[in-house]
Homo-oligomer: A and B are copies of this chain.
Amino acid sequence: MQNPRPQTFTSFDAPKRILLGPGPSDVHQRVLHATARATIGHLDPAFIRMMDELKALLRYSFLTDNEATVAISAPGSAGMETCFVNLVEPGDKVIVCQNGFFGGRMKANVDRCGGKAIMVEDEWGKPIDPQKVEDALEAHPDAKILAFVHAETSTGVSSDAQLLASLAKKYDCLSLVDAVTSFGGSELRVDEWGLDAVYSGSQKCFSSVPGISPITFSALALERVNHRKQPVQSWFLDINLLMSYWASTAKRAYHHTAPSNSLYALHEALLMGYEEGIENRWARHRENHLLLRAELETLGMDFFVEEAYRLPQLNAVRIPKGVDEAKVRSELLNEYGIEIGAGLGPMAGKIWRIGLMGYSSRKENIDTLAQALRAVLS
């Protein structure tokens, strides 16, 4: 191949959108400005100070004192993989709860680590049944880990992470928790609830730019890693290498070139969460969910999930009968600039997913969406 330059390319011009899908959410101008700050080296003392603050902000946001609280330089699905590759050894039994799409991905991770996944299945749209989980823990006393999704992004259902983690502890298992959609949007208390390995994403309820995965490991989880018989199969996601990389100045070891600008963004986004206060943030998500619910009721739309288990930040609603759902989404996008989410996997064509996450969780967005839906569905 020579040097043909046959094609014409132009700078990408992002269209104006209101992001009310399952993520990413709208990114605040403060965070976008932070993203555009000049790139500096990852060994620059100023950058290292920023990383130290970022760790403190992550601990605050997770409500944890865990030393191993860092940001993986890759999206939430790599955060998931970080938890599994470090904690699962070949042959290990892992109890995996599945009540939606992301529980299935957890199983794929266990398989690829050579572990044995024991599935505890619940219907999509229902929370994880703690009784089934306890039955599985009892039936498999040699299980090492209980893995579950706190807030299922595919269905908008919340499970009782505190209760599930206490069951894990009772049966001497580590809890491995997907908090991608809960982090920053609904109650999540890593230390108080005794969660052992937790991962999330930057782009949901903290509304940073996508591509970074905050994680936290308890001392117990780290101890498990340090007693492995075999090395962690991933070099890039090895938690001990990552801890050295995120260590304070004197002990830092080179690992990879940090995604500087995405970390600037996360720092600013978490700072905005810190200014708001984490509990106030949860309350805001809850209040806006109630406003949306009222609007959807006047439109005659039903929620997919029973009231007690609904995530305020991700509202799964049944598609009204006789409606061409793809056409509605396309009209919302093209005529109103509003993105809402389709159903994933078996939920396709059955539900829409309306996200009110982070900076997207605002009254004006609810008003705009309600007006647009009224027009499009009429």
Contacts and interface: CB of A to CB of B under 8 A. Distances in A.
Interface of A: 1-5, 7, 9-17, 19, 21, 23-24, 26-27, 30, 32-46, 50, 53, 56-57, 60, 63-65, 73-78, 81, 85, 105, 108-109, 111-113, 189, 191-192, 201, 203, 209-212, 231-236, 254-262, 264-265, 267-268, 271, 274, 277-279, 333, 339, 344
B209 A15 contact: no
A267 B12 contact: yes
Contacts of A9: 53, 56-57, 271, 274
A14 B235 contact: no
Contacts of A234: 81, 85, 112, 233-234
Contacts of A15: 40, 44, 46
Given A63-B1, A65-B1, A108 B78 contact: no
A17 B40 contact: yes
Given A1-B64, A24-B260, A50 B233 contact: no
A73 B21 CA distance: 21
A268 B77 CA distance: 26
A12 B191 contact: no
A41 B262 contact: no
| Copies of this protein in the complex | 2
A135 to B, nearest CB: 28
Contacts of A17: 38, 40-41, 44
Contacts of A111: 231
A113 B27 CA distance: 38
Nearest to A342: B43
A325 to B, nearest CB: 14
B257 A11 contact: no
Main secondary structure of the interface of A (DSSP, over half): loop
A77 B74 CA distance: 11
Contacts of A109: 235
Given A236-B78, A274-B9, A277-B3, A38 B16 contact: yes
Contacts of A85: 234
A286 to B, nearest CB: 16
A12 B3 CA distance: 42
A14 B46 contact: yes
Nearest to A47: B14
Given A40-B14, A235-B108, A75 B77 contact: no
A19 B40 contact: yes
Query: Lowest 9 A-B CB distances belong to which pairs?
Result: A211-B259, A36-B36, A74-B74, A77-B256, A14-B37, A209-B261, A27-B39, A75-B256, A32-B36
Contacts of A271: 9-11
Contacts of A211: 73, 211, 257-262
Contacts of A39: 14, 19, 24, 26-27, 32, 203, 209-210
Contact of A209 (B33, B63, B259): B259
A112 B113 CA distance: 12
A113 B357 CA distance: 38
A9 B55 CA distance: 12
B257 A23 contact: yes
A203 to B, nearest CB: 6
Given A1-B65, A32-B37, 5 more contacts: A11-B34, A81-B236, A109-B235, A203-B257, A234-B234
Contact of A73 (B16, B33, B75): B75
A264 B210 contact: no
Contacts of A35: 35-36, 261
26 contacts: A1-B189, A5-B274, A7-B56, A9-B271, A9-B274, A13-B37, A14-B38, A14-B46, A15-B40, A17-B44, A21-B41, A32-B37, A35-B35, A35-B261, A41-B339, A44-B333, A44-B339, A73-B74, A73-B211, A75-B256, A76-B256, A77-B256, A112-B234, A209-B260, A210-B260, A211-B260
